[in-house]
Amino acid sequence: MSVRHLYLHLPFCPSICPYCSFHVERVDRKKMDRFAARLEADLRDTGPMDALETVYFGGGTPTAFSTTQLEAILDVVDRFVPRPRDCETTMEANPSTLPAEKCRMLRARGINRISLGAQSFDDEVLKTLGRHHSSAAIRVAWEYLRAAGFNNLNLDLIFGVPGQTLETWESTLRAALELKPDHLSCYNLTYEEDTPYMDRLRQGICHEDDDCNETMFTRAEDLLSDAGWHHYEISNYARSGFECRHNVAYWTGRDYLGVGPSAVSTVRGKRWKMADGRRVEMESLSAELRAREQALLELRTSRGTAADFFRFEQWKPLVEHGFAVFENDRLVLTREGRLRADEIAVHLC
């Protein structure tokens, strides 16, 4: 198969966060012991692959697996997945599931990038989010990762959390910078269907504050830009050379293969989702639809997208109202545009 980007879904979590809408399962040691065999069957069905540019172990919480279970999974991956030395291989991790031994094993087995789900350095905010780690646990896990030889580390952070203030958000950003990460993902909390947080929103227990969210977004942008970080996608910042190559592949319309429960693939104009080891929700994508998807995703990046994909009447008002600029035949969102990216995408569809 000629795809260069592989996503491996490891769905188990120690607990399910109240804001999470992903396909996750609670930790079940018997199921997790059998997961390597399940993954092997899926990869065998996929067939031979060419050398990959990126591999991404997502979840769930991949590091919820024990060291022994992860080694069995990596044995399977090594048999079926060709990863050259320069392949970016990312694993998502939770601070409470990263003992030093596991960090050393992962680095020795070719994992070269970790995305750590810190979410906040404020312990009260972590409780609100339903996280079971502390800010101290983040720092301990970080020390273990650096000591194991990881030199490409991301921190996931969340803003717009009920009860979170601008001051606590800024404190989290500064605490993150003190750890000298290579990449930061700063996500605005969203209320998704079929989650406890959506129930709380509908009951009036939680409230969305768009003005506060915008202020937190711009504060992160200002603070990180002043510190020399590249704001290369609406929710993502990187030190030079540390942009996430796997996510950039998504944003630039590259084909990708997903393996594992509920993983999604887009390959040669076909899109499907995995369920119970089968391909479901098969969809044929026209070249025009794929190009439109790519344009809308690229618009979220600092490079913007080719303006000629959209009609002049569509993008002219964006420029006139200061939501975008026209640079080198590309449409690039301004700060005001980045704040309204979802609305702009609807307008351009």
- Judge whether 278 and 284 are in contact, CB under 8 Å: no
Q: State the average pLDDT over residues 71-95.
A: 97
335 band by pLDDT with thresholds 50, 70 and 90: very high
pLDDT exceeds cutoff 90 at 20: no
Radius of gyration of the chain (CA): 20
- At residue 74, φ and ψ (nearest 5 deg) are -70, -30
Q: State the average pLDDT over residues 96-124.
A: 98
Q: What pLDDT does 53 receive?
A: 98
- Judge whether 6 and 256 are in contact, CB under 8 Å: yes
Q: Could you identify the residue written with the tokens 């979802």?
A: 342
Measured over all CA atoms, what is the biggest interatomic distance in the chain, rounded to whole angstroms?
59
First to last CA, the chain: 32
* Torsion angle of the four alpha carbons 230, 236, 241, 245, in this order, in degrees rounded to the nearest 10: -150
Q: State the average pLDDT over residues 168-183.
A: 98
What pLDDT, in 10s, does the model give residues 178-209? 999 999 999 999 998 888 888 888 998 888 89
Q: What pLDDT does 275 receive?
A: 85
d(CA 247, CA 123): 29
What structural domains and CATH numbers belong to the chain?
5-250 (3.20.20.70), 302-349 (no CATH)
Q: What pLDDT does 83 receive?
A: 96
pLDDT exceeds cutoff 90 at 311: no
Paired tokens of 105: 């094993």
For residues 312 and 83, the model is more confident at 83
d(CA 108, CA 67): 12
Q: What pLDDT does 44 receive?
A: 93
Q: Could you identify the residue written with the tokens 């307008």?
A: 347
Q: Average model confidence (pLDDT) for the chain?
A: 94
Q: What pLDDT does 92 receive?
A: 98
